[in-house]
Amino acid sequence: MDRIVLTGMRFEGHHGVTEEERLLPQAFEVDLEVEADLAAAARSDHVADTIDYAPLVEIARRLVEDGRHHLLEAMAGALATDVLRYAPAARAVTVRVRKLAVPVDADIDHAQVELRRERPTDAAGASGDDR
């Protein structure tokens, strides 16, 4: 399957389990891998034949900067849902969310959650896209 891959998007947000974590903005990093058939775009060279990635960046930005989640898992799940809602041509999305300042007593680069969500298919095996 073809993929659009956006890595290392950095945003600040108020997320975390404790109230102290949510008090001040913290750095988060997001990766998206959107699986879709990109053959038409490869042939035509027209943005209308692909999934425009500028709105994908804005979806991630809005969720991190304006959202409020206790868990990275919840943030990643909401992001996957929003991406699949925005892009009907997407067959699946993989989301990675990293918290760059982890409140643990250890030398740690980051904490990361990765999840993959597929678009549901009907019994005949067709995608949920009606096109």
- pLDDT, residue 101, reads 82
Task: List the structure tokens of 117.
Answer: 């969500």
What's the CA gap between 76 and 82, in Å, rounded?
Answer: 10
Average pLDDT for the chain: 91
What's the CA gap between 49 and 44, in Å, rounded?
Answer: 7
How many domains in the chain? 1
- Is the pLDDT confidence value at 82 over 60? yes
Task: List the structure tokens of 86.
Answer: 């925005």
What is the per-residue pLDDT across 40-76, written as a single tens digit (0 to 9) for each? 999 999 999 999 999 999 999 999 999 999 999 999 9
**Known catalytic membership, residue 37:** no
Contact predicate 87/36, CB 8 Å: yes
Q: Between residues 2 and 1, which one has the greater pLDDT? A: 2
**Is residue 130 included in any domain, yes or no?**
no
| From 99, 111, 112, 116, active-site residue | 99
Contact predicate 61/9, CB 8 Å: yes
**Scanning the structure block, which residue is given the tokens 């760059």?**
100
- Is the pLDDT confidence value at 128 over 60? no
- CATH of residue 70's domain is 3.30.1130.10
Provide the residue range defining the domain that includes 99. 3-118
**Is residue 77 included in any domain, yes or no?**
yes
- pLDDT, residue 114, reads 98
**Is residue 126 included in any domain, yes or no?**
no
- pLDDT, residue 122, reads 64
